[in-house]
């Protein structure tokens, strides 16, 4: 065998032996988080088993913004089931409801909206005037009474960290929830009202002869995503509850506190992809890199669950839904399966 070839062969074998002796520890997994740590909260739940696949700050209180309308809709669906209303029932719009800031459909006092259109207006447009009108109707003329009913319903569903003060999600320092509670509510809507869940997959609807477009850009972006609701106020950041149902996998993903709607949606997609992986339950939880951090900088400590919420914007600030590590074990189910 020629000497140069033999020397090359020996060198290659030596290199292979050296590599074989190196550590096989995989590189650290890093998950980019498009939010500040004091606003961020997230959870991914396997809706079939109730097991938590991923969570950060999921029991820390956050502002729900227009995710509030998920509970308003839950109460309206209950009224439909009980026969208290039908889809043709006309709901009157009061001065108080008509005066809500955008996003809204811009009703005048004394006008009415049918229940079917009201559902679509809350899901697709996230209309604050419609949500308040529905709350007043179901609350016997009082939105405050309806908010108390919403909170009672939340407790009955196991949403222990949630309190409602209004029907639409506009800023109120007493209106708080958690990512875990929003996952509970998302699962409850799907399980309790499967005949109505199709509303959450709609991205537009016709009203008074014009097309009303929605805010949930996850619909049609990721195959298998079939709802459900977005939310935004300045104090909360961009929130979303997303249902994924395809290829025998059913997930509920909640992300709260993102800096922008686009970054929130990117993050939801990343969490879905991560959760569909074959080794999710056994994988080491990723290192979190929050918004604005440099790659080499250390991660800040996560705020404790009872830490103060970021301040609400002053009155008159833009309202909800603009167009457009505390990591838990996966072994404990979020909700019992049924």
Per-residue pLDDT tens digits for 177-211: 999 999 999 999 999 999 999 999 999 999 999 99
Confidence of residue 28 (pLDDT cuts 50, 70, 90): low
Closest CA to 318 of 170, 129, 215: 170
Average pLDDT, the chain: 84
Closest CA to 69 of 107, 118, 122, 117: 122
Question: Token pair for residue 102?
Answer: 């955008």
Q: Which residues are catalytic?
A: 66, 69, 126
pLDDT at 322: 45
pLDDT at 2: 59
Whether the CB-CB separation of 62 and 178 falls below 8 Å is answered with: yes
Question: Token pair for residue 286?
Answer: 């990723």
Question: Token pair for residue 196?
Answer: 């109505």
Confidence of residue 283 (pLDDT cuts 50, 70, 90): low
pLDDT at 293: 73
Give the ranges where 142-260 is alpha helix by DSSP (H): 143-157, 179-192
Average pLDDT of the segment spanning 141-161: 98
Closest CA to 123 of 243, 222, 271, 252: 243
Confidence of residue 285 (pLDDT cuts 50, 70, 90): confident
Whether the CB-CB separation of 105 and 130 falls below 8 Å is answered with: yes
Question: Token pair for residue 127?
Answer: 């209309």
pLDDT for residue 12 is more than 70 = no
More confident residue, 315 or 277: 277
- CA–CA distance from 66 to each of 126, 187, 225, 236, 322 (Å)? 7, 17, 19, 10, 10
pLDDT at 8: 62
Task: Give the whole-number percent of the chain exceeding pLDDT 70.
Answer: 77
Average pLDDT of the segment spanning 125-147: 98
- List of residues 6+ apart from 249 with CB closer than 8 A: 46, 48, 224, 276
Confidence of residue 314 (pLDDT cuts 50, 70, 90): very low
pLDDT at 303: 41
pLDDT at 257: 98
Average pLDDT of the segment spanning 50-77: 97
């Amino acid at each position: 065998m020629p000497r140069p070839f033999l020397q090359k062969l020996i060198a290659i074998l030596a290199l292979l032996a050296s590599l074989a002796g190196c550590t096989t520890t995989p590189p650290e997994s890093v998950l980019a988080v498009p939010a500040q740590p004091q606003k961020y909260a997230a959870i991914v739940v396997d809706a079939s088993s109730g097991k938590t696949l991923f969570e950060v700050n999921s029991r820390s209180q956050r502002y729900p913004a227009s995710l509030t309308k998920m509970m308003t809709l839950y109460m309206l669906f209950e009224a439909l089931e009980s026969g208290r209303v039908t889809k043709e029932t006309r709901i009157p719009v009061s001065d108080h409801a008509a005066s809500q800031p955008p996003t809204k459909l811009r009703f005048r006092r004394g006008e009415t909206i049918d229940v079917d259109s009201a559902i679509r207006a809350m899901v697709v447009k996230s209309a604050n005037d419609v949500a308040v009108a529905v709350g007043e109707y179901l609350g016997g003329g009082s939105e405050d009474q309806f908010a108390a009913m919403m909170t009672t319903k939340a407790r009955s569903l196991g949403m222990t960290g949630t309190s409602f003060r209004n029907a639409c999600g506009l800023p109120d320092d007493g209106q708080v929830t958690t990512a875990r509670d929003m996952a509970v509510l998302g699962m409850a809507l799907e399980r309790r009202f499967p005949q109505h869940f199709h509303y959450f997959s709609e991205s537009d609807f016709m009203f008074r002869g014009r097309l009303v477009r929605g805010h949930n850009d996850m619909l049609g972006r990721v195959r298998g995503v079939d709802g459900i609701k977005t939310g935004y106020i300045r104090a909360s950041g961009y929130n979303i509850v997303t249902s994924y149902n395809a290829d025998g996998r059913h997930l509920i993903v909640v992300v709260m506190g993102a800096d922008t709607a686009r970054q929130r949606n990117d993050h939801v997609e990343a969490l879905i992809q991560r959760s569909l992986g074959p080794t999710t339950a056994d994988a080491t939880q990723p290192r979190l890199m929050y918004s604005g951090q440099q790659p080499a900088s250390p991660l800040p400590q996560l705020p404790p669950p009872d830490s103060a919420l970021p301040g609400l914007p002053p009155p008159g600030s833009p309202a909800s839904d603009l167009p457009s590590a505390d990591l838990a074990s996966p072994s404990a189910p979020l909700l019992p399966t049924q």
